[in-house]
Amino acid sequence: MRVLLIEDHKPLVRALKRGLEEEGFAVDTAVDGEEGDYKARSANYDVIVLDLMLPKKDGLTLLKAWRKKGLETHVIVLTARSGMEDKVQGLDLGADDYLAKPFQLEELMARIRALIRRGHQVKTPILRIFDLEIDTAARSVKRAGQSIHLTPREFALLQFLAFHRGQVVTRSMIWEHLYDEQDENTSNVVDVYIRYLRTKVDKGFDPPLILTRWGEGYMLRGE
């Protein structure tokens, strides 16, 4: 899943980016409000993590403008302010969640995962497709009771397919949600990771769950 982190404290940006990437998130960053505004409007993010105290344009101004323009991306507001007024104002302007500094990376990741599930109308962290079980919180996968080890990128791809179960997703859709702006791979790498997933998730099991729709893209088998 692809996340935009808008935060001007560079050591925190580096730490959060590294931690999120280790968990399989694709992360773009911006260190001021103008850069964050441009990126938020230029790409399709699953979640935006937005600091309120930003140079050039503050977070509340950005949030108000985004919602007025119809930007529906989930937003988690980060604030060092202890007053309830800022939290209430942020939520009233359209934030989906807020987190007060200092916070633990694990809590931020849990809140991001919850918002992504909400965006796909999924209540539980465990996704089940036939005999495949994907635990989006523990980031573990089983098929027919057998544990399957996936790399963070493989897990992100499988989770994306699962959230769109029964629907064709194109290579460009996968690329847009799984790769950040710094990635130098080409979209052909999607086909490579689909092959990796098929080897781990489908080989030796029946029925095959990862399907190709020639000329369209890929899908995870529906009901």
Tokens read off for 173: 């859709």
Tokens read off for 144: 């027919």
For the chain, list residues with pLDDT below 50: none
Q: How many residues does the chain have?
A: 223
pLDDT at residue 172, rounded to an integer: 86
pLDDT at residue 81, rounded to an integer: 64
pLDDT in tens, 107-134: 999 999 999 888 777 778 899 999 999 9
Strand bridging mode 2-6 / 47-51 = parallel
pLDDT at residue 85, rounded to an integer: 73
SS3 call for 113: helix
What class is the 2-119 domain? alpha beta
Q: From 3.30.200.20, 3.90.550.10, 3.30.70.580, 1.10.10.10, which CATH number describes the 126-220 domain?
A: 1.10.10.10
- Where in the sequence of the chain do the CATH 3.40.50.2300 domains occur? 2-119
HSE (side-chain half, CA atoms, 13 Å) at 11 = 0
Q: Which of 190, 206, 181, 64 is nearest to 131 (CA)?
A: 206
Q: Which amino acid is at 190?
A: V
